Amino acid sequence: MLSATVTRCSADTTAIPSVTPSPLRFPSLPHRVRFRALSGNFSAYPVYGRSESLSEGDGEAAEGDADPMGSSDVHISRMDALNPDYRSPRGFNGLPKAGRELLVDGTVLLYHLSRSQNFRECLWTVTLPSRFEDGTPFGTDDYKRFLRGWADFIRWVMEELGRDLARQELPNRWLYVIEPQEDRWRRDGVLAPHLHAVIPNRWLPNKRNPEKDKGFENSGYWALTTEDLDDIIHRCAARVMGKPVDCRSAGNVDAMHNLGKVGQYISKFNKIGQYFSKGSAIMGELQQSQWSNYIPANWYGSDKETRRQVRASVETYELGEGSLAQIAIALDELNTQHEAQTGKPLYANLHTHWVNPDGTTVPHGEPPPDDAFPVALTGRVNHLSDIDIGAGLLQALELHRVAVPIETPDDS
């Protein structure tokens, strides 16, 4: 079989370079790129007909696993193959594509807003409490009671956060993801989810820190202190449980000072997203356990304006007629040039997605069968600071100008 070698440069050290199948297996069609201008994630795919792109099934394959984690009013539901009339409960399948995109792109958006509106982007982690204020530990029924009120708890927390933000003259902008908390599940056998929220805050250099300052000293403190945020958790948890709950270790606040720190938290969200991937051990165990009726119906959310801006930031580029093989070759060449100039590749996690004739996707890392067909190529700009460069080069790409090297078969 004729084949062409394409190096897949990636910042992900787990990525395995491979040899792409023959370019002859990639049909020549009009192609376009869906580019997420905030995070630099993109997908390139063929356009069938005048305005159609991919079918619903191919759309899932097009996004694949290249996107880390998207909009709070969108939920996944899957049909049971053995019982088509049964639909999985909301939340059973975790984060939809829109949820993953909202978390990643929204985190970058709030970072840029923090620079222009003079606040700091912070990660607020909320741990589900494990005991009442009188020291009585939660039993199984207590955890289940909390989980029955989980949706109300999250809504009350974000409403109270909005009021506190307004009092501190901070914008009411936020997003969150809920983590199943594998460690607590393995250790205690209970479903005790965590909340990770990206919120605005402001450092006040003349504010007194009650834990550090003595006498007349003021070393500075947050406008929204850890104590303020713990009070929110305490009030909302008590409303759910009907009596005071011990929330002394429930909250933690960590500032994202620069794009590097933002990238670290995007990686953290990506790790959380792995809990919801197909074949995830913890989600499968929860679905088969006594906790299946207590799985949260929604795993993420944001304020309306952040959601709107994330959606509006997605751009589409027409690439002309060609093939996914030509796109891979062009991006590999751009990576080579950029790495020669800067010492780092411009694009990372480049991956071609294949679908079998029965509609199932070919697993990442496995060679595509001869009867599989390519549906998309995904990747991302390697560094957030290079997004404008990466987007401009993608937009200028003209497929008909990309030469396809074809190796001749060895003489037998």
Each of the 412 residues of the chain gets a pLDDT tens digit; together they read 223 333 333 333 333 334 457 777 888 899 999 999 999 999 999 998 654 444 333 444 344 444 433 333 333 333 343 444 545 566 666 678 889 899 999 999 999 999 999 999 999 999 888 899 999 999 999 999 999 999 999 999 999 999 999 999 999 999 999 988 888 899 999 999 999 999 999 998 888 777 676 766 777 788 998 889 999 999 999 999 999 999 876 778 888 888 888 888 888 888 777 777 665 788 888 888 999 889 888 899 999 999 999 999 999 999 999 999 999 999 999 999 999 999 999 999 999 999 999 988 888 888 899 899 899 999 999 999 999 999 999 999 999 899 887 655 554 4
Give the residue ranges of DSSP H helices in 301-352: 304-312, 324-342
Burial of 277 (0-12, 13-18, 19+ CB in 10 A): exposed
Which residues lie below 8 Å from residue 106, measured CB to CB, with a gap of 6+? 38, 70, 175, 198, 302, 306, 307, 310
Structure tokens at 75: 């939920």
Q: How far apart are the first and last CA of the chain?
A: 13
d(CA 236, CA 137): 18
Please calculate the CA angle 297-298-302 and round it to the nearest 5 degrees.
155
Q: What pLDDT, on a 0 to 100 scale, did the predictor assign at position 89?
A: 61
d(CA 32, CA 62): 12
232-238 contact pairs (CB < 8 A, 24+) = 232/157, 232/160, 232/161, 232/164, 233/126, 233/129, 233/157, 235/156, 235/160, 236/153, 236/156, 236/157, 236/160, 237/129, 237/146, 237/153
Which of 391, 299, 296, 316 shows the shortest CA–CA distance to 347?
Answer: 391
For the chain, the C-alpha Rg in angstroms (whole number) is: 24
Q: What pLDDT, on a 0 to 100 scale, did the predictor assign at position 216?
A: 66
180 and 94 Cβ atoms separated by less than 8 Å? no
